[in-house]
Amino acid sequence: MIQKFIYVILLFIVLGEVYTCHLIYKFTKKRSVVFAYLLLLVTIIASLFFYFKGSDQSKGQTAESMHVMALLLLFLLPKILISIPLFFEDMFRFTRWTSNKFIYKKIITNSRSSLLTKIVLTAAGLLTLSIIYGVFVGKYNFKVREETISFKDLPAGFDGLKVLQISDLHVGSWDNKEAIEKGIEMINAQEYDILLFTGDFVNTLATETDLWIEALQKIKTPKYGKFAVLGNHDYGEYVKWDTEAAKEANFIAIKNNIEKSGFKLLLNENVVLKNNNDSIYLLGVENWGLNFKKAGDLKKTSENVPDDAFKIVMTHDPSHWDAEIVNHQQKYQLTLSGHTHGMQFGFDIPSVLEWSPAEYIYPEWGGLYNKGHQYIYVNRGFGFHAYSGRVGIWPEITVLELKKSK
């Protein structure tokens, strides 16, 4: 299925270049301009080929490689957007021409719609500008999102508890110290009783954190502390290692650096939060995803947790909620996840339009969801990965207020 999808995308990329050359000639009437564009195309393709061929695969995704990816998207996505509607228009024009020539025995004018061409070019231009905006502005356009969730079984002592959630830092992608410090200032400006980080501290390597530990230590520590779990990127599995020992050393260093940054790392374990005679349980599960590493052990994480206790589960991948948590014999009232990033692309206007390609992979891709009296909040991520930008799906700081309902 994935292979067929790739073939379809490649087809529309090729068609996009054909249509681009046609449109360039249509508007300039000069073959020299078309040849100049083709020369630029070959130069870009060759440069990308030699870049990826010569890049150090042991470093994984870096800020530099993600800028290259942004350039690639900038060059390809508008062409795909051009090719799809024009291709289907050409199919319609061909069918119309064939039926008129061979069935009705007449020849009609069958030119391309100038209106469609203008619409397609306008859309491609807007997409190009959006990608550029995402690289230079969008990826650090931090937004605070607030939600209030009511529970009948929330202990009275925790009525009004404010949970600040961040997720998917991907510190190896960061390239603007001033912007990150602004994001941290926004975190510290919120009122919260506990801070929970739901995984993907790095892209792959422990050394990515060297420039950022000091900044992360400035995140204020609230009443109940700062806690973290691991995401799929925190196991160092996206590069080739010379030895298993080197991979394990990197993994240990990542865990140590999370702790150095001021977080208590929970590895399939739980802690009890107390307020006078009331208590709730915080469960930190290692990464568990339907299509990713399954290091998480919900049973182990829940050891010694009373069945009737109020529980907050931290698990990086939201697919874990549907697969194990929501239908478990124990009741897990609130789950916090990240992972999806909202694919860093889409429309996210609360109560008006919320869409991302991520929804075709993850039923719970961003925001608050519930099944009965069990809730999951999926944070859209503080950082970014693969594409060095965000368009429409902005980096997120979440503040959840838990209320006791009657």
- Asked if 289 and 318 count as a contact pair (C-beta separation under 8 A), the reply is no
- In terms of pLDDT, which residue wins out, 252 or 87? 252
Please check whether residues 129 and 149 belong to one and the same domain. no
Instruction: Assess whether pLDDT exceeds 90 at residue 100.
Output: no
Could you count the other beta carbons within 10 Å of the beta carbon of residue 102? 8
pLDDT one-digit tens code per residue, 188-204 = 999 999 999 999 999 99
Segment 86-99 shows an average pLDDT of 86
- In terms of pLDDT, which residue wins out, 266 or 240? 266
Please check whether residues 116 and 148 belong to one and the same domain. no
- In terms of pLDDT, which residue wins out, 62 or 377? 377
Which of 78, 109, 136 represents a domain boundary (last residue)? 136
Q: Residue 237's domain spans which residues?
A: 144-404
Q: Is 23 helix (H, G, I), strand (E, B) or coil?
A: helix
Give Cα 362 distance to the centre of its chain. Answer: 11
Please check whether residues 235 and 163 belong to one and the same domain. yes
Please check whether residues 125 and 211 belong to one and the same domain. no
Which of 136, 170, 186 represents a domain boundary (last residue)? 136
Closest CA to 78 of 113, 29, 129: 129
pLDDT of residue 176: 96
Please check whether residues 53 and 182 belong to one and the same domain. no
388 Cβ partners below 8 Å, 6+ apart?
A: 63, 66, 67, 69, 70, 135, 139, 173, 175
The Cα 156–Cα 158 span in angstroms is: 5
For residue 131, the one-letter residue type is I
Q: In the structure, what pLDDT confidence band is assigned to residue 391 with cuts at 50, 70 and 90?
A: very high
- In terms of pLDDT, which residue wins out, 94 or 338? 338
pLDDT of residue 16: 86
Please check whether residues 85 and 212 belong to one and the same domain. no
Residue 339 — left, alpha, or beta (φ > 0 → left; ψ -120 to 50 → alpha)?
left
Total domains in the chain come to 2
pLDDT one-digit tens code per residue, 275-334 = 999 999 999 999 999 999 999 999 999 999 999 999 999 999 999 999 999 999 999 999
Residue 262 — left, alpha, or beta (φ > 0 → left; ψ -120 to 50 → alpha)?
left
The Cα 330–Cα 303 span in angstroms is: 12
pLDDT one-digit tens code per residue, 104-114 = 667 666 678 88
pLDDT of residue 52: 74
Looking at residue 341, what DSSP letter applies? G
Please check whether residues 110 and 161 belong to one and the same domain. no
Mean pLDDT value across the chain: 92
